[in-house]
Structure 1
Amino acid sequence: MKRRDFIWRTFGMILGLAGLRALVGCSDSDDGLVGQAIGGPGASVNCLANGTRTTIESNHGHSLLVSVDDIKAGTEKSYSIQGSSGHNHLVTLSEDNFTSLRENGTIEVNSTTSAGHDHSIIVSCA
């Protein structure tokens, strides 16, 4: 193999791997599972038994953990969702939000604005 061919093949492989990483490694959501539905697909969801899952729109390192204990307590609570992001947002869940989760509902809330943007967050039962 000539040096020129080797360089072009190596360059092509590097570009291909970078493209694959971009396709596989990036996502607009944070599917932070805090427990999964027992029984696999088709199993019924239950926040008090299985915990919650969260999806953060346009996510870039933020995370939200809503514990079973918080759902049981049912009192308004603010959460930091900084995660691995370089900035922080706060999210407040109301008593009504916790009631919906206790009843195995899904809620949608918005974070505070930071660094010129906010995030829509969906919390559902696992």
Structure 2
Amino acid sequence: MDRKTFIQKTTMGILLSIPAVSMLGCSGSDDNGNSSPDPDPTPTAKNCVENGTSTSVSSVQNHTHSLSVSKEDVSAGTTKTYDLSQSADHIHQVTLEANDFQALKDSPNQSITKVSTTDSGHSHNVTVACV
């Protein structure tokens, strides 16, 4: 074999081996053959004392208010009256009682819904849930 033939065959071999190596590299699996997602993943446990709460306030007369209930309030578990955020020149209040906080701690997948005080001729439903 002359030098020219050697270089051509070597070059051709290298060029053909690159795609083959690339395809083999993609066929490997590091997930032990389990490529489908878990159909029933374990949900993250809700816990008001550790993770806090989420709140929602119903929209009435084209407006809503906001409320924040801290994890420290849930942990303390004592009756507390909250001012809902001021909106449209009025304010509402909602009271969470000790048994409401206890219910959130005992049943973190449940939510508590209370009705706010009435102001400007309306009230709002306030829902508190664990995250």
TM bucket by the smaller chain? 0.5 to 0.7
Q: Give 1 or 2 for the bigger CA radius of gyration.
A: 2
Contact map agreement 1:61 1:83 (CA 8 A) in 2 = no
Describe how 1:27-46 pairs up with structure 2 within 5 A.
42-46=43-47
Q: Which residue of the partner structure matches residue 13 of structure 2?
A: none
Unaligned residue ranges in structure 1 (runs of 5+): 1-40
Contact map agreement 1:62 1:84 (CA 8 A) in 2 = yes
Q: TM-score, normalised by structure 2?
A: 0.60
Q: Which residue of the partner structure matches residue 65 of structure 1?
A: 68
The one of 72, 85, 110 equivalent to 2:115 is 110
Unaligned residue ranges in structure 2 (runs of 5+): 1-41
**What displacement does 1:87 show?**
1.1
Counterparts of 1:72 and 1:45 in 2: how far apart (Å)?
14
Change (3 A) 1:69 1:115: same
Would you say 1:77 and 2:74 are equivalent positions? no
Q: TM-score, normalised by structure 1?
A: 0.62
Deviating 4+ runs (over 3 angstroms): none
Change (3 A) 1:73 1:87: same
Contact map agreement 1:54 1:123 (CA 8 A) in 2 = yes
Contact map agreement 1:61 1:85 (CA 8 A) in 2 = no
The sequence identity of aligned pairs, in percent, is: 42
Q: Deviations over 1:65-121 (max 9, x none)?
A: 111111111110000002444210000001110101112131110000001100011
